Amino acid sequence: MSASSKIKNPLWYGHLEAGNRSSAVIRDERLDTGSTKTVFLFNLARGEILEYSRDVVEPKLRELNSSEAKTIKKLDAAYAEARRNFKDRRARPLNIPEKGGSARRPVETQDDDEVEEFIDESPVEDVWVESDED
């Protein structure tokens, strides 16, 4: 991967040389695995964003050659679909309602009149209660 391609665009287009499992790939710099030892790559042959060991995969990556460059549109379309369906294993589910309602329940408020019913304004006397326990 060339340094210049990383600066201009967060997407890097390349080819993974892996024998029968070789494939055009995209590396999106915006996707972070949370580990310096791994990297996410979109694998066109599998149609998925997969986590690879950086030590294993980086030596097998190369830039697309001129004949493979015509697959960029296909890569972009397939990557867009995979990106929409991508579930990072570190992501936690959010409390998002399905029907567009509020995620929080509204706080119930009471009128002052209702509260006053429970207030006892009679004077409080000191009360001493003896226990039978010894």
**Domain ranges in the chain?**
3-85
Which of the pair, 51 or 125, is modelled with greater confidence? 51
Pair 28, 19: CB distance under 8 Å: no
pLDDT at 44 over 80: yes
The DSSP annotation for 5-72 comes to: HHHH-SEEEEEE--GGG-EEEEEETT---S-TTEEEEEETTTTEEEEEEHHHHGGGEEE--TTTGGGH
Mean pLDDT of the chain: 78
Token pair for residue 114? 């209702």
pLDDT at 9 over 90: no
pTM for this prediction = 0.60
